[in-house]
Amino acid sequence: MSDGLSRRSFLKLAATAGAAAAIPGCEPAARKIIPYVVPDENVIPGVPTFYATTCSECPAGCGLVARVREGRVIKLEGNPADPISQGSICARGQASLQGLYNPDRLGKPHKRAEDGSLQEIAWDQATKEFNDRLAAAAEAGKDRIAFIGASQGPTLDKVTALWLQAYGSARLAFWERIGEEPARAAADACFGRRDLPLYKLDQAETIISFGADFLETWGSPVEYTRQYADFRTPRMRKGGLTLGKAAYVSARLGSTGARCDEWVAANPGTEGAVAMAVLNVVVNQGWISRDSGVAADAVKNFAAAYDPHTVSEQSGVPVDTINKLGAWFGQADGAVALPGGDDPQTYIAAYILNAVTGNVGRTMVFLDGSPAEAVTRPDQVKTVIQAIRDGQVDVVVVAGGANPVYSMPPAWGFAAALKRVPFVAWMGDAPDETAAAAHLLLPVHHALESWRDTAPRAGVYGLGQPVMQPVFPSRALHDVLIESAHLGAGASAQSIPWENASDAVNAAWQDLQGKLAPDSTGQAFWDDARRKGGVFREAKPAAVKLGSAVLAQKLQPKAASSGPLTLAAFPHIFFYDGRGANKSWLQEIPEPVSQIVWDGWAEMHPDTAAQLGIKESYESTRLYAGIDVVQIDTPNGPIETAVHITSLVKPGVIAMPIGQGHSSYGRYAAGRGANLWAYLPEGTRSLGVQARKTEKRHQLVTPMGKGDMMGRSIIEAMSIGDLVKGVVPEVEGEPHLEGVPHEMYEPFKYTGHKWGMTVDVNSCTGCSACVAACYAENNIGVEGKDNVALGRIMSWIRVERFIPRADEESHGPLLYIAPIMCQQCDHAPCEPVCPVFASSHTSEGLNAQIYNRCIGTRFCENNCPYKVRRFNWYAPEWPEPLNLQLNPDVTVRGAGVMEKCTFCIQRITTAEINARTENRNLVDGEIIPACAQACPARAITFGDLNDPNSAVLKRRADNKLRNYTMLPENNALPQVTYLRTLYREKA
Amino acid sequence: MSANQPASLGAAAVRPLRAPVQVNWQRLNTIAIALLAIGLIGLVAALGAGQADRVWQTWLVNLLYFMGIAQAGVVCSCAFYLVQGRWAGSVPYRLAESFWLFLPLAVVLFAGVFIGRDHIFPWITHPLPPNRTVWLNVPFLFARDGAALLIMALLSAWFVGASRGPDAVRWTNSASDIEMPPPALRRLAPIIAILYCFTYSLFAFDLVMSLSPQWHSTLFGWWFFATCFWSAAVAMAFSAVQFRRLLGPGNAFTAPTILHDYGKLVFAFSVFWIYLSFAQYLVIWYGDFPAETFFLLVRLWHAPWSPLGWLAPILIWVVPFTVLMSVRSKKTPRILGTVAVLGLIGVWDLYYILIVPALSPNKLPFGWVELCVTAGFLGAFILCALPGLRIVASAAAPGADGGE
Amino acid sequence: MAAAVETNLQPSYIDIDRNVQRAMAPGGLKYWLWVAFCAFLTALGMIFWTNQIYKGLGVTGYGQPNMWAVYITDFVFWVGIAHSGTLISAILFLFRVRWRTAVYRCAETMTVFAVLTAGLFPLIHLGRVWFFYWCVPYPNERFLQPDFRSPLVWDFFAISTYLTISTVFLFTGLIPDLANAREVSTGWRKTLYTILSFGWQGTDRQWRNFSMVYLLLAGFATPLVLSVHSVVSWDFAMTQLPGWHSTIFAPYFVAGAIFSGCGLVLTLIIPMRKLMKIEDLVTIWHLDNLAKVVLLTSLIITYSYATESFMVWYTQDPIEIMTFNQRYYGPQGYLFWMMVACNCAIPLLLFIPRIRTNTVCLFIISIFVNIGMWLERFVIIAGSLATNTEPSQWRFYVPKLTEVVITVGSFGWFLMNFSLFAKFMPIVSMTELKEGIGWLRHAVRETYPYRKAA
Amino acid sequence: MSDGIALISTFSSDDECAQGIEALHRAHVHDFSAFAPFPSEKILEATSEARGQGRSPVRWWVLTGGITGILTAIALTVGTSYEWNLNVGGRPIASIPPYIIIMFELMILMGGLSGLLGFLFHSCLPAFDSAAGYRSRFGADKFGLVVRCAENEVSRLESLLRDAGAEDIAREAVITQGVPSHH
């Protein structure tokens, strides 16, 4: 059948193939194509090469390893050497491949004609136009040019600045809507230093997050997920086995809150106040740490204004909850408060809380030698925009993925200002709203095609190198800038001594070598950095002290502004500030908590919905999460959106995801939900609004049928108390047949390997990195909204979310979340029903699916208790050049074929072949399926069940009480076991 | 008589009879009483010896066994009326109804199940979750099953009375012209047939299935009353063979095809029985739910039960199927008789392995206790059957108008 | 009806022949329009199927978890229809039931074409129909064989055996009648019948072998008919799916099949006997007896529904209970109640003799029976899949245009074949009517009052 | 056999026809064949009595076919399973319970087909040359009895047949051996 590589894409492959030849020493010279007829020793067909680089999807700056086959990067994985990612990356990181191969990327330079249409022009013509415009502007006077971009790392940002100088301008803005300003401002106020603290969640016993969705988008999600999983693993504290206490203060539960013990539903914007109230409790209980070096009474006075009662009224959080949080925080041996949102006050409150309890320097650490601020302060950005609005700017260059038209606060009126600018040049990969407003569009390299370096934190120097030849005839952004600087700037040309971006980075690293490794040579240092993906050093913690000034001032946390209802915007875990929305994987993977795909929505508590006259009236024949449309009137205009009724949001609050609502960002982002940035004022993510039901209907689609587990043994939980006592939980539906035979068939002997997996549900946060990794590794098709509504999502592994029933709330987790993939049953019910042996068992215990033999009776799926098989209702499609991402090791399935997870059998075979050729035994941990590899929480362990020392068996043995298999009554004998998630009984 | 082969052949298969023998009812009577006596003594002794478990379990086995034969016999007669079968005159009707008198007795003997309930129903000693005790609780169970037994006994009595009445007999003997059987029977026959299916499914679920509460099989009720029906068929075949021998030349049972018809009945329903059994076995084998498989595994694949477990299908299907396939053997009294006796043993064994392993999965209790209790029941059954059999004898006697 | 027929209460051999031969007279415009209409429906179905093959099953309403739905429902429905034919022609033959003679040929014809129709649906249902033959054991260089553990392979064997045997059975019965037709017909028809009748002359030797083979075929067809629908039911019962995994399925499906089959026999034969003027071969008495079979089987499936539900309640298995709860009260619960009305309630009317002997009532009831049995299969197949063991994968199924048109097309295909056969072949067995002429006369006499009333 | 006369007697009922046959039997004339529009039991009993035949041999064809079917099925199912030795769902390689179904179906299939062949063979069908004495009415409403005899016997047999109730007797010279005769 179809092997997935159409002739056409094969030619493309062959064309790009030679590229890989040059990549190791990736000089510009490497642009020439080496045909396969002259085999290149660097490229062995069929054998992947790996290149270390860095991720550019969010400021966390994870290190990456790119898997390259025949010159095409086909998979991204975390860089084990990198202290931030430590080998895992999130779904967004996985999906940046789709940014690289985005079918809507700009192929050639374009110029906007008088009639507003775009016309393709040649590169030299485009650069000429660009440079002429710049020159003209420079002629006109100083500061007639403005540059707004996203930070590209210290070196390239320096280049940008120099280039702008060369044209006599200083109007430079590196723009992030989800910025660092509140954190830096608060740090400045509290500790007199404007750098970002580093959190060590695994050092804490109590974590209270004040609106910081640290498992979704806040700060460095991969790192925090890993730490949090560690924190939630039961460990000996104060002489007993305990579970870390965690509380999440926010109006919406979110997947961060789902993993905590307490969801403290506070009114949006009052998180800071709650933090102060907690501080108040801590202080009054005298839980202030002796050595925190703050004057107890000063703190007392400071916190006095925030007694639990007043705050309780303001925030809607019960008093005893506040007291409980205070007790948790104050009495903990190591606690940390995480501030979130855009309000500096929240950060200050949290910092003080951490400081007075002596956790600064322990769970919250400032490092010496933190890198300089990459993001420009909002007020400076505002001055630039002011200038633009005042017509003091002739040329605006927007570059490097910044999308100010989409993401700037409405009050700034950027879009309007931009209209008055005679010439706007846009330089990026995928055209967005800003590009739509530009006069000249220059296609520049995607991050994975260009040289960069990153400085996410002190001691971490990431090096981003191109991992493949450009997919399109684009150019590196800074090559264009340097060239134009050299052309235009005449005398000041010397200001940029480098030929191109790679030179610039290379030079920067020569200096770095001088600083970090004086005894090494430049070249060795450089090669080593390229091999490792950067240089990683331990950074010294800085001694900081809470300033007394901050205690003198009076905090005014922004309460939710007026309005019968409050709109609370939250960054979508996959779209972040909106840049993820043009990637089909991220659109198709359901948001873990709402389980909604391909859309924007408004979450409402049933009570709120009832007030608006909306009932749950979904057509049960379709997979809808909501259909009624409300109009939400905000100060900045109305929003129309469909309602998703859920108990996971505070009554009176409308929670909406940030990141959708693109008017121009490619086919996948088009026409989905609303862009909340256009409604949110600066410095807050909540808004007082009115809402009314409209007669319109819009289907919110989810692959999730019922959110109710119906007491079946699918995702199980047990209380930490039972774990300590050693009580084995009762399993629903398990037949009790002690003393009578009940095994129908002789068990098969598995000599050799027997593959198995264990998933720790307690660690899983639902981040869906595994799902994205599976899409990338296994060539899984993307079906689109309408087909998902028909139950045709293709994901082999899905993150399932069940909402506990009312009677379970007192004794159970806030949500049941776990990844579910093929369970590789020994008595696989799917196998004997297949008429053609397409589904049968391998000698290594895998439930194999032979695609070429499958005739599509779909009987196997009928008999699968876990419903993890997927059928190709249509032939899957990958709009070019997305097809270049396909993994050549995995068959692309045609229409009418059933497909499923086989523990990434291609990885297993590869490893086995390698072991055989190297004439050795497989090493445990040598084979890692994509999902296990991606998981930042290390929740998934894979291994050989016939190897007594395998990690998987060890993990099961270490967690005997928590180990279970799904749906035991079916007696399918799954080879995937789960470890029960743990919860703390509510008093 | 059968549409498609010459009757001559049947005659060929049947050996000529000796001089007429007078049926010695008295001897049969005394034998029956003796058996009954053995039964009673054994019962007392066993209870004395603290063998209550075995006594009451065997009690249940025998009650179901003989009750089944008696009731299914009546239903057989109903079936004849429903298909308006008149190929052998009134004799088949009389024979089918001959055991019915055991039914009223069964209502009485059912008390034994009540007395021995703690030894029979595990869910009494090991209580089930509340949501299941709604159905499985002592008062309700005995009330409904007792009532069912009583109703069936009364209806059967009514039916048999009507069926032995003159119009019915006249109708059964007038094969040539086309008219309906008497109205009473026209109405009673379907009612009894339908009630039989429902009540005997009920007994199957209550008195057999509930002995292993985790287990269930939706077909079980159907399968059970089909088994009863077959047991009645073999009982009739057996009696027919005996009568043919005893009643002397020219009796109704010497008619060329009557044995053939009984043979076909036994053969057909034996095949139907194995079909229903296989339908259950295959589904459970394939479905692989422990809660279902253990029931079969204990009885068929594990010591000590597997020999007895396999004996039942052998006697109920393998033997009749292979032996009775040919017309000749269907018509040869000795062969048919032997098959029938084996069949009767097979059905008893079947009930035994249905009931007892549920209560002692790992050891096989069989000995004098079981034999005595069974003997007692057999005696009682024969005593109940005697009047009916006498009527058959008179109807089938040479020259009686019962013949064709 | 013709006065000539009205008076004749003693039909002779020749009357039988005349009636049948009249029925075989060349069809008029109305007849051909009807055939053309059926052909049109068939073509429509074919077009939609082609489109589905071209674009993929995505054009249907199928999706996770509704892997099986309308097509398999149609398949089971048509296979079920087939069963009445074999029942009437074989089982009732063995039981020497006299009234079968007039209707069995019609029923058996229905069997053959129903199986022919049913056989299409597994193919229509396949994801890659062009590889359907992989289900068949055939020699190939890699010695790839199907898995005989799969109920679908059993299906293949059962259905193809059934088609072959029932065709053979039908054809064997036809031979003497075709010989009869040969004698009276002319032109190409004569040639056709001459060839098909194999030169049959009805010598005693031929009849001797004929009787034997007919008896044996009947003896084979009887267990076969049980096995076929049992195997079909095992497509479902073998799985672990709540609502499917049930031991009672085999006999219960067989009963249901005969129920629906006899229903369709009535639906077809009531108008047909009028149109073809064979009322005094296929009399009310025959219909009355057919109705009794419908009633009996209706009672059996009612028993099965009852046992199934009771057993779920008896075991208190939470998963099963939820599935059945959804079946009764779920979003598609109304289908279940419609089914109960059609299959359990309405047929009870047949207890009333007046209704059994009124063709109009019988016709209407038979329509309900057909609808009810189609619904039963749909409720069991689509409904159970929709409420499976994994709540996150629940979704109810609604068909799209493709399924509807293809289903309608299958009716067109069936009726077209049937109508052609009914016109060109003796649709009533003359041989057997003559053999049981006494009963025919009885039937005519029995029917006379109703006929007068009409 | 030597050529002779064929007496074609026509009866209106199968009783009379059967009587005719019995009469011939008593007269030790066995070179006849009877025609009927349907398988009349009476005639068939009479003929098999006269010819002293047992039941039709077709049943042996069916039996053989059936057994062949079972054996084929065993070979097919068990054979291919062991050929591949695949573990499907933990079921045994030779899973007998499911295979029983295949055995059953093939038994029916082959038994039925060979039955058909047997029937055609023993009735010597297809045979398009019409047998001596065949009249089309024998397929409709009349029963025929065709006797072959020498001239000198004609009158005796005619009277014999008339007594049995023949309503019409025609004579026909037999050219060749026309009456089909095998078993």
Residue C69's domain comprises: 11-453
CA distance A843 to chain D (A): 8
CA of A622 to nearest chain C CA: how many angstroms apart? 6
% of chain A surpassing 70 pLDDT: 93
Pairwise CB contact (< 8 Å): C247 & B280:
yes
Q: What does the pLDDT read at residue C433?
A: 84
**Residues C369-385, mean pLDDT to the nearest whole number:** 94
At residue A42, the pLDDT reads 64
> Residue A22 — pLDDT band, cuts 50, 70, 90?
very low
| Amino acid in the structure at residue A66 | A
CATH of the domain at C250: 1.20.1630.10
Among A730, A732, A740, A863, the residue to mutate for chain B (most B Cβ within 10 A) = A740
Indicate the pLDDT class of residue D183, thresholds 50, 70 and 90.
Answer: very low
* pLDDT, tens only, A686-706: 889 999 999 999 999 999 988
- A116 interface with B at CB cutoff 8 Å: no
Selected residue with higher pLDDT from B229 and C444: B229
Q: In this predicted structure, what is the pLDDT of residue A208?
A: 95
Q: Is the pLDDT of residue A250 over 90?
A: yes
pLDDT of A54 above 60: yes
- Which of A638-647, B40-49, B164-173, C260-269 is predicted least confidently? B164-173
The predicted model gives C99-119 an average pLDDT of: 89
Give residue A35's pLDDT band: very low, low, confident or very high (50, 70, 90).
very low
Q: Which residues of B touch A832 (CB under 8 A)?
A: 286
Distance from CA of A740 to the nearest CA of B (A): 7
Q: Which of B123, B131, B288 to mutate to test the interface with A (most CBs of A within 10 A)?
A: B288
Chain C nearest C-alpha distance from D159 (Å): 22
Please report the pLDDT score of residue B85 as a whole number. Answer: 75
- C-chain residues within 8 Å CB-CB of D130? 199, 201
Contact C164 D101 (CB under 8 A): no
Q: What is the mean pLDDT of residues C152-161?
A: 94
Q: How large is the average pLDDT for residues B10-25?
A: 52
Q: Is residue C98 part of a domain?
A: yes
Residue of C128, C322, C391 with shortest CB distance to A896: C128
In a domain, C3, yes or no: no
Contacts of A837 in chain D (CB under 8 A): 84, 86, 88
Q: Sorting pLDDT into bands at 50, 70 and 90, what band is B402?
A: very low
The CATH fold assigned to D2-55+131-175 is Alpha-Beta Plaits (3.30.70)
Q: Contacts of residue B287 in chain C, CB cutoff 8 Å? A: 237-240, 245
* Chain A CA closest to residue C152: A835
pLDDT at A890 over 70: yes
> B-contacting residues of A 822-851, CB under 8 Å?
827, 829, 832
Task: Determine the average pLDDT of the residues in A933-951.
Answer: 94
Set of chain D residues whose Cβ sits within 8 Å of the Cβ of B8: 45, 48-49
Say if residue B115's pLDDT is above 90: yes
Interchain pair B288, A744: CB under 8 A: yes
Question: Could you say which of D37, D81, D120 has the minimum Cβ distance to residue C202?
Answer: D37
In the structure, what pLDDT confidence band is assigned to residue C452 with cuts at 50, 70 and 90?
Answer: low
* Cβ of residue A747 closer than 8 Å to a chain D Cβ: yes
By mean pLDDT, which of A610-624, B265-279, C93-107, C279-293 is the weakest?
A: A610-624
Can you give the pLDDT at residue A638?
A: 94
Neighbors of chain B by Cβ distance (3+ pairs < 8 Å): A, C, D
For residue A30, the model assigns a pLDDT of 41
State the chains in contact with D (3 or more Cβ–Cβ pairs under 8 Å).
A, B, C
On chain D, the residues whose CB falls within 8 A of the CB of B285 are: 97
Q: Determine the pLDDT at residue D167.
A: 85
Residues in D touching C143 (Cβ below 8 Å): 80, 83
List the single residue in D39, D54, D97 with the smallest CB-CB distance to B285.
Answer: D97
Mean pLDDT of A450-476: 90
Question: What is the per-residue pLDDT for A651?
Answer: 92
Q: If you average pLDDT over residues A394-408, what whole number do you get? A: 93
pLDDT for A520:
85
Which of C143, C149, C233, C433 is the best mutation test for D, with the most CBs of D within 10 A?
Answer: C149
- The per-residue pLDDT for D180 is 46
Instruction: Read off the pLDDT band of A21 (50, 70, 90).
Output: very low
For chain B, say whether D102 makes contact (Cβ under 8 Å).
no
Using an 8 Å CB-CB cutoff, list chain A residues near D91. Answer: 745, 831-832
CB contact under 8 A, C57 and A895: yes
C-beta atoms of A832 and D87 within 8 A: no
Q: Is pLDDT of A963 > 80?
A: yes
**pLDDT, position B175:** 65
CB pair distance less than 8 Å for B214 and A970? no
Total domains in the fold of chain C: 1
Q: In this complex, do B289 and C240 lie within 8 Å of one another by their Cβ atoms?
A: yes
pLDDT at A578 over 70: yes
What proportion of chain D, given as a percentage, has pLDDT over 90? 28
Residue C428 distance to chain D (closest CA, Å): 14
**Which residue of C19, C98, C213, C230 is the best one to mutate when testing the D interface, meaning the one whose CB has the most D CBs within 10 A?**
C213
Q: What integer best gives the mean pLDDT of chain B?
A: 88
- Predicted local confidence at residue B180, as pLDDT: 78
Cross-chain residue pair C316–B132, CB shorter than 8 Å = yes
pLDDT at A228 over 70: yes
pLDDT digits (tens, 9 = 90+) for C295-350: 999 999 999 999 999 999 998 888 999 999 999 998 899 999 999 999 999 999 99
Q: How far is D37 from chain B (nearest CA, A)?
A: 16
Mean pLDDT of A14-22: 42
Question: Residue range A186-198: average pLDDT?
Answer: 91
Q: Which residues of D touch C12 (CB under 8 A)?
A: 141
Asked whether residue C78 is domain-assigned, the answer is: yes
- pLDDT of B79-112, one tens digit each? 988 887 777 778 889 999 999 999 999 999 999 9
Subunit contact A855:C127, Cβ cutoff 8 A: yes
Return the domain boundaries, chain D: 2-55+131-175, 58-122
Q: Is residue C45 part of a domain?
A: yes
What pLDDT digit, counting tens, does each position of B282-292 carry?
Answer: 999 999 999 99
pLDDT tens readout for residues A788-797: 999 999 999 9
Segment A136-146 shows an average pLDDT of: 90
Contact flag D95-A832 (C-beta cutoff 8 Å): yes
Low-confidence winner among A830-839, C93-102, C398-407, D145-154 (lowest mean pLDDT): C93-102
pLDDT grade, residue B42 (50/70/90)? very high
Q: Are A573 and A579 in contact (CB under 8 A)?
A: no
At residue A20, does pLDDT exceed 70? no
- Per-residue pLDDT band for D154 (boundaries 50, 70, 90) equals confident
Chain B touched by A971 (CB under 8 Å): yes
Of all residues in chain A, the one with the smallest CA distance to B293 is A742
DSSP code string of chain D:
----EEEEEEESSHHHHHHHHHHHHHTT---EEEE-SS--HHHHHHHHHHHT--S-THHHHHHHHHHHHHHHHHHHHHHHHHHH--B-TT--SS-HHHHHHHHHHHHHHHHHHHHHHHHHHHTT-S--SPPTT--GGGGTT-EEEEEEE-GGGHHHHHHHHHHHT-SEEEEEE--S--S----
- Best residue of B216, B273, B330 to probe chain C, by most C CBs closer than 10 Å: B216
pLDDT of residue A559: 61
Name which of C199, C204, C435 is nearest D47 (Cβ-Cβ): C204
Residue-wise pLDDT for C228-237, tens only, equals 999 999 999 9
Least confident of B44-48, C450-454, D161-165: C450-454
What's residue A734's pLDDT?
Answer: 66
Chain D touched by A239 (CB under 8 Å): no
Reported as a single tens digit per residue, the pLDDT across A62-92 is: 999 999 988 899 999 999 999 999 999 999 9
10 Å CB burial of residue B364 (0-12, 13-18, 19+) is middle
- The answer to whether residue A222 scores a pLDDT higher than 80 is yes
C283 to chain B, minimum CA–CA distance in Å? Answer: 16
